[in-house]
């Protein structure tokens, strides 16, 4: 199985998970951003819509409340209609709180008419219109006078007759037998649209007494929609259900006048393409609209003004607005998330380093094949207990191994020393004759070589002697092999006792034959010593009162460097042979 480094095992999953999480986050946020932007956009639209809704309701509410109040008042007190002049103050006071209230009027079944009127663009200019003061059914205008109710006449030559009973506000109310809205129309002589609400007046018996009405200039609503601060490229409209515009957020006119004919602008006829497209979808609710490649969130809400009148509020905002705002937030969130992931990856790397570093040191020390590397590891090695435990275990093992090896070294040294002793003994044995404890042939060779070289180097004389027990076979045959051994041991002792220098050598040459070497000793001295030995044999029995004799071959070389070892041996051996053959118990030199 292929092994992988621990650091990679920790860091790679961290990095891979970070990447997966980052990509997932990006995809999820990108997919949901459009939906969230849509919801946020609709929410934004609804907030604006609520403001408009409240404003329109607040704006139109006085119309119905004033008509209602007046209908009830005249119904319960029909005598008030007997003289309309005092009613001018009543109508004036009712209109005062509402700057855009243009008319509050009352018309009687006998054609009398009184109204409080106001210029919608000059709201402090209040006047009274009446048709009964000078000439019945002829409209005249007067200043309002709080004391006299009707003050000075304004229009000097009123020329048009005015029978309120022929007017739509009167006829519609009588026909409907209840409250009725006028059509939205251009307000008399002023550049604004207006709307009126009228209601029939009945006495307590149900008899028709007249009609009371109110009207209001709608320019304020148009100004209001224009004044609402909106996101760029947003549109608002207030329209009737058929799409006829009442107010918009744009500055375009809401009506046109051509050849004296006033034509109202509707969504379809509006010059702005966005309004034109909006006309295709006037159902209440959220819609999506595309105009020249730009997407709009579009929301329609209806407002019921009561008595059958319903208006529509339409708001369009470009989808890109909230998407871009959200995209900015999203980018910030993504950036923060990426930073977070980078921190996670960094923490992962630090954790990997924290875990791997001591393990690497352990690994290196373990692979060094040197116990000291493990023993030198600091304790504790890491802040991680498992790694410390492993390190301590290895440390302990290394200490134990070191002890074992030390003991082993001691034992090996002891064994080696013992073996050396044994070896020395064996070596000694290998060059010593077991019976006589003299050098054997091998020992003689080694010692003779050293001595010969010494003599050669020092230009000393050297003397080589070979001696052999005479008729030794007979000793064995006669007294037994053990007796022969005793004789050999005794001969060896005698020979050895006659050595004088540490450089002199005596060795068992083989069987009953012995060799002697003397350095820097002249021949006479050697011969004298050999004779002494012969005398010892005569004087001293070697066993059981048995005496032996020996034959000797002696070779003396004045200068050792003039001959060789082998030649010396061969010559001496020949001399011994001659001694044997010439009767034994003699010295041939």
Ligand X SMILES: Nc1nc2c(ncn2[C@@H]2O[C@H](COP(=O)(O)OP(=O)(O)OP(=O)(O)O)[C@@H](O)[C@H]2O)c(=O)[nH]1
Residues interacting with ligand X, by CB under 6 A? Answer: 435, 468-474, 476, 481, 484-485, 488, 511-512, 580, 584
Q: Smaller CB distance to ligand X: residue 14 or 472?
A: 472
Least separation in angstroms between residue 562's CB and ligand X is 31
Assigned token pair, 267: 């969504």
Q: Smaller CB distance to ligand X: residue 48 or 542?
A: 542
Q: Smaller CB distance to ligand X: residue 471 or 496?
A: 471
Instruction: Report the chain's terminal Cα–Cα distance, integer Å.
Output: 89
Least separation in angstroms between residue 403's CB and ligand X is 54
Quick check: 238 and 245 in contact, CB under 8 A?
Answer: yes
Q: Smaller CB distance to ligand X: residue 358 or 484?
A: 484
Assigned token pair, 586: 């003699």
Least separation in angstroms between residue 417's CB and ligand X is 35
Least separation in angstroms between residue 497's CB and ligand X is 20
Least separation in angstroms between residue 579's CB and ligand X is 10
Q: Smaller CB distance to ligand X: residue 51 or 473?
A: 473
Least separation in angstroms between residue 583's CB and ligand X is 10
Q: Smaller CB distance to ligand X: residue 80 or 483?
A: 483
Q: Smaller CB distance to ligand X: residue 309 or 468?
A: 468
Assigned token pair, 281: 């979808």
Q: Smaller CB distance to ligand X: residue 375 or 476?
A: 476
Residue 449 backbone dihedrals phi, psi, to 5 degrees: -65, -45
DSSP string computed for 168-231: HHHHHHHHHTS-EEPPPEE-TTSSSEEEEEEEEEE-TTS-EEEEEEEEEETHHHHHHHHHS---
Q: Smaller CB distance to ligand X: residue 381 or 469?
A: 469
CA distance 261 to 346: 78
Q: Smaller CB distance to ligand X: residue 357 or 471?
A: 471
User: Starting at the edge strand that comes first in sequence, how are the strands of the sheet with 235-240 ordered?
Assistant: 245-248, 235-240, 309-318, 294-306, 285-291
Least separation in angstroms between residue 536's CB and ligand X is 19
CA dihedral 38, 42, 47, 49 (to 10 degrees): 150
Strand intervals (E) in 250-367: 255-258, 261-264, 285-291, 294-306, 309-318
Least separation in angstroms between residue 412's CB and ligand X is 41
Least separation in angstroms between residue 549's CB and ligand X is 9
Query: CA separation (Å) from 88 to 133, 146, 147, 255, 438?
Result: 13, 9, 10, 33, 172
Burial 216-229 (b: 16+ CB within 10 A, else e): bbbbbbbebbeeee
Residue nearest to ligand X (CB): 484
> 548: buried, middle or exposed (CB in 10 Å: 19+, 13-18, 0-12)?
buried
Query: CA separation (Å) from 229 to 67, 248, 267, 271, 308?
Result: 34, 13, 22, 22, 31
Q: Please enumerate in sequence order all residues whose Cβ is within 8 A of that of 284, keeping only pairs 6 or more positions apart, or say none.
A: 300, 301, 302, 312
> 255: buried, middle or exposed (CB in 10 Å: 19+, 13-18, 0-12)?
middle
Least separation in angstroms between residue 467's CB and ligand X is 11
Least separation in angstroms between residue 542's CB and ligand X is 12
Q: Smaller CB distance to ligand X: residue 49 or 470?
A: 470
Assigned token pair, 365: 């020390």
Angle of helix 565-581 relative to helix 441-458, nearest 10 degrees, comes to: 120
């Amino acid at each position: 199985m292929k092994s992988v480094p621990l650091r990679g095992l920790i860091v790679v999953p961290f990095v891979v998970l970070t990447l997966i999480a980052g990509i997932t986050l990006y995809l999820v946020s990108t997919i949901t951003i459009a939906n969230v932007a849509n919801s946020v956009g609709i929410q934004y639209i609804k907030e604006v819509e609520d403001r408009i809704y409240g404003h329109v309701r607040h704006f139109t509410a006085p119309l119905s409340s004033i008509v209602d109040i007046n209908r009830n008042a005249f119904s319960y007190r029909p005598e008030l209609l007997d003289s309309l002049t005092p009613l001018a103050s009543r109508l004036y006071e009712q209109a005062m709180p509402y700057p855009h209230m243009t008319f509050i009027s009352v018309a009687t079944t006998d054609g009398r008419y009184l109204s409080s009127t106001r210029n919608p663009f000059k709201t402090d200019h209040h006047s009274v219109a009446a048709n009964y003061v000078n000439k019945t059914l002829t409209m005249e205008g007067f200043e309002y006078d709080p004391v006299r109710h009707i003050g000075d006449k304004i229009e000097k030559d009123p020329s048009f007759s005015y029978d309120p009973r022929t007017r739509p506000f009167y006829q519609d109310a009588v026909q409907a037998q209840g409250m009725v809205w006028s059509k939205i129309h251009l307000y008399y002589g002023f550049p604004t649209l207006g709307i009126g609400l009228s209601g029939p007046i009945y006495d307590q018996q149900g008899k028709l007494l007249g009609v009371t009405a109110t009207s209001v200039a709608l320019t304020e609503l148009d100004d209001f929609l224009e004044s609402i601060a909106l996101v760029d490229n947003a549109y608002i409209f207030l329209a009737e259900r058929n799409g006829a515009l009442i107010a918009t957020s744009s500055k375009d006119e809401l009506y046109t006048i051509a050849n004296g004919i006033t034509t109202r602008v509707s969504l379809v006829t509006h010059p702005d393409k966005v309004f034109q497209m909006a006309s295709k979808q006037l159902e209440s609710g959220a819609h999506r609209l595309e105009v020249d490649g730009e997407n709009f969130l579009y929301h329609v809400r209806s407002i019921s003004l009561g008595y059958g009148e319903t208006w529509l509020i339409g708001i369009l905002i470009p989808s890109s607005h909230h998407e871009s705002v959200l995209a900015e937030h999203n980018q910030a969130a993504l950036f923060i998330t990426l930073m977070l992931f980078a921190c996670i990856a960094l923490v992962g790397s630090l954790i990997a380093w924290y875990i791997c570093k001591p393990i690497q040191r352990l690994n290196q020390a373990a692979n060094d094949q040197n116990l000291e590397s493990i023993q030198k590891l600091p304790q504790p090695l890491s802040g991680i207990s498992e790694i410390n435990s492993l390190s301590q275990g290895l440390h302990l093992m290394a200490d134990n191994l070191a002890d074992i090896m030390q003991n082993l070294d001691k034992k090996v040294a002891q064994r080696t020393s013992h073996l050396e002793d044994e070896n020395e003994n064996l070596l000694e044995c290998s060059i010593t004759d077991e019976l006589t404890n003299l050098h054997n042939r091998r020992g003689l060779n080694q010692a003779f070589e050293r001595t010969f070289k010494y003599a050669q180097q020092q230009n000393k004389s050297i003397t080589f002697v070979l001696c052999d027990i005479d008729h030794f076979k007979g000793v064995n045959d006669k007294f037994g092999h053990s007796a022969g051994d005793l004789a050999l041991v005794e001969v060896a002792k005698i020979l050895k006792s006659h050595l004088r220098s540490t450089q002199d050598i005596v060795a068992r040459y083989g069987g009953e034959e012995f060799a002697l070497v003397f350095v820097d000793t002249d021949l006479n001295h050697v011969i004298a010593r050999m004779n002494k030995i012969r005398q010892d044999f005569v004087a001293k029995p070697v066993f059981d009162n048995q005496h032996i004799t020996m034959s000797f071959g002696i070779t003396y070389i004045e200068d050792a460097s003039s001959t060789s070892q082998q030649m010396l041996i061969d010559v001496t051996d020949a001399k011994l042979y001659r001694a044997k053959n010439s009767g034994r118990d003699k010295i041939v030199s």
